[in-house]
Chains A and B, each alone.
Chain A
Amino acid sequence: GQQVMQIPQYQHVQEGEDFTTYCNSSTTLSNIQWYKQRPGGHPVFLIQLVKSGEVKKQKRLTFQFGEAKKNSSLHITATQTTDVGTYFCAGNAGNNRKLIWGLGTSLAVNP
Chain B
Amino acid sequence: KAGVTQTPRYLIKTRGQQVTLSCSPISGHRSVSWYQQTPGQGLQFLFEYFSETQRNKGNFPGRFSGRQFSNSRSEMNVSTLELGDSALYLCASSYIAGVSYNEQFFGPGTRLTVL
Residues of A within 8 A of B (CB): 30-31, 33, 35, 41-45, 48, 50, 88, 90, 92, 95-99, 101-104
Contact = CB atoms under 8 A, between A and B. Distances in A.
Interface of B: 31, 33, 40-43, 45, 48, 55-56, 90, 92, 96, 99, 101, 103-109
B56 A101 contact: no
Nearest to B102: A48
A42 B45 contact: no
Given A92-B101, A97-B56, A98-B56, A42 B90 contact: yes
Contact of B108 (A42, A98, A99): A42
Contact of B43 (A30, A31, A92, A101): A101
B101 A45 contact: no
Given A88-B43, A97-B101, A44 B56 contact: no
A48 B41 CA distance: 23
A48 B43 contact: no
A99 B45 contact: yes
